[in-house]
Copies of this chain bind each other. A is one copy, B any other.
Amino acid sequence: MTQDGRRLRGLRSREVILEQAVGLASVEGLDGLSLGRLAAATGTSKSGFFAHWRDKEQLQLDAVEWAARQWKEHVVAPAMSAPAGVRRLFALHEARLRFYGDGVLPGGCFFFTVQAEFDDRPGAVHDRVARAMGEWQEFIQRLVAQAKELGELVEGADPAQLAYEIDALGEMVIIHSRLHDGPAALAHARRAVLQRLRALCPEPALLPED
């Protein structure tokens, strides 16, 4: 039987641990998060972790996977239900800002913290995070290209350039909102991308005015 109660129970607690790990890592980072604190947060013993993962790095890699799923669910999926083109592009940006504003993760953004932590440290986690970031950037670029094909962005718009701008303006909300100007950062990030898209869109009426 595949109906193995032990495996089911294991998967469930595995999920609980990963959710806690992603939340804590969004605050203190994947390495800054210690197994002891993670054990305390989940109400388990740290030795129990090694029944699920060979070592801390394996847990970190699974946490990245979990966070990527969460990101797709909360940010990518809502955008995909908006009409293709420039509106979908802006919906993606707004979904990200909502994710931050709603405080889904205590630290704001798992990937921001982990990128800052591992951008200089080679290893499996670095590579996995870099891959996730590449896919994210590629996804934004595809949406830009699609908007161009639909004639909703001028021909001169460079997908890589615009994707960099959208991502940078959105991601820096984390730092600015937490240690400088609070919710104003969200407004700045929203307004910046909105005006940029409107300026590049032959039919600005597709987007809100402000």
Contacts and interface: CB of A to CB of B under 8 A. Distances in A.
Contacts of A161: 188, 191-192
A62 interface: no
A65 interface: no
A169 interface: yes
A118 interface: yes
A91 interface: no
A129 interface: yes
A116 B116 contact: yes
A175 interface: yes
Interface string A95-114: 00000000000111000110
Given A169-B168, A179-B130, A112 B107 contact: no
Chain copies in the assembly? 2
A113 B118 CA distance: 10
A70 to B, nearest CB: 18
Contact of A174 (B28, B107, B119, B130): B119
A143 interface: no
Contact of A165 (B116, B126, B169, B174): B169
Contacts of A28: 120-121
Contacts of A116: 112-113, 116-117, 174-175
B168 A172 contact: yes
A37 interface: no
A120 B27 contact: yes
A168 B189 contact: yes
A171 interface: yes
Given A108-B119, A108-B120, A137-B181, 5 more contacts: A27-B120, A29-B117, A129-B179, A160-B181, A171-B175
